[in-house]
Amino acid sequence: MSGSDEKNEEGQGRQPYSQYQLELYMGAILGGRKPITTTDPNKLEQEARKSMSPEGFNYVFGGAGEQATMEANRLAFRQWKLIPRFLRGSTAPRDLSIKLFGQTYNTPLLMAPIGVQAAYHPSGEKGVASACAALNVPYIYSTASSMVLEDVVASTTTTTPTSSSAPPSPPKWFQLYWPLDDEITASLLGRARAAGCTALVVTLDTFTMAWRPLDLDAGFLPFAKGEGNALGFSDPVFRHKFAEKFDGDTPETNVMAASLFWTGEVFSGQGHTWEDLATLRRLWGHGPIVLKGVLSVEDALLAAEHRFDGIVVSNHGGRQLDGVLPSLEMLPEIVDAVGHRLTVIFDSGIRTGADILKALSLGAKAVFVGRPIIYGLGIAGAEGAQHVLAGLLADLDQSMGLAGVKAVEALNRSMLRRINYGGDIKSSL
Ligand X SMILES: O=C(O)C(=O)c1ccccc1
Give yes or no for residue 239 binding ligand X (CB under 6 A). Answer: no
Nearest Cα neighbor of 52 from 63, 40, 41, 44 is 44
- Through-space distance between the first and last CA atoms of the chain, rounded to whole angstroms: 33
The three-state secondary structure class of 60 is helix
Q: Choose between 73 and 91: whose C-beta lies nearer to ligand FMN.
A: 73
The verdict on whether residue 358 carries a ligand-binding annotation is no
Give yes or no for residue 366 binding ligand FMN (CB under 6 A). Answer: no
Q: Which of 144, 237, 277, 362 binds ligand X (CB under 6 A)?
A: 144
Q: Choose between 114 and 338: whose C-beta lies nearer to ligand X.
A: 114
Burial status of residue 57 (CB atoms within 10 A of its CB: 0-12, 13-18, 19 or more): buried
Count of alpha carbons within 13 angstroms of residue 389, beta-carbon side: 37
Residue 347 · residue 112 · CB < 8 Å = yes
Closest distance of CB 205 from ligand FMN, Å: 8
The verdict on whether residue 363 carries a ligand-binding annotation is no
Give yes or no for residue 113 binding ligand FMN (CB under 6 A). Answer: yes
The verdict on whether residue 361 carries a ligand-binding annotation is no
Contact string (CB under 6 A) for ligand X, positions 199-228, x = contact: -------x---------------------x
CA angle (160, 161, 163) in 5-degree steps: 70
Residue 127 · residue 117 · CB < 8 Å = yes
Contact string (CB under 6 A) for ligand X, positions 272-311, x = contact: ----------------------------------------
d(CA 422, CA 208): 34
Nearest Cα neighbor of 133 from 106, 160, 104 is 106
Is residue 306 part of the annotated active site? The answer reads no
Q: Choose between 258 and 338: whose C-beta lies nearer to ligand X.
A: 258
The three-state secondary structure class of 23 is helix
Closest distance of CB 426 from ligand X, Å: 27
Residue 291 · residue 303 · CB < 8 Å = yes
Question: Strand 416-418 vs strand 80-82: parallel, antiparallel, or unpaired?
Answer: antiparallel
Closest distance of CB 247 from ligand FMN, Å: 31
Give yes or no for residue 313 binding ligand X (CB under 6 A). Answer: no
Point out which span in 89-97, 245-253, 364-372, 421-429 binds ligand FMN (CB under 6 A): 364-372
Residue 346 · residue 313 · CB < 8 Å = yes
Closest distance of CB 91 from ligand FMN, Å: 27
Q: Rule CB under 6 A: which residues touch ligand X?
A: 115-116, 144, 206, 228, 316, 319
Q: Rule CB under 6 A: which residues touch ligand FMN?
A: 59-60, 112-115, 142, 144, 175, 203, 292, 314, 316-317, 319, 347-350, 368-371
- Catalytic residue numbers read 316
Residues annotated as binding site? 59, 113-115, 142, 175, 177, 203, 212, 292, 314, 316, 319, 347-351, 370-371
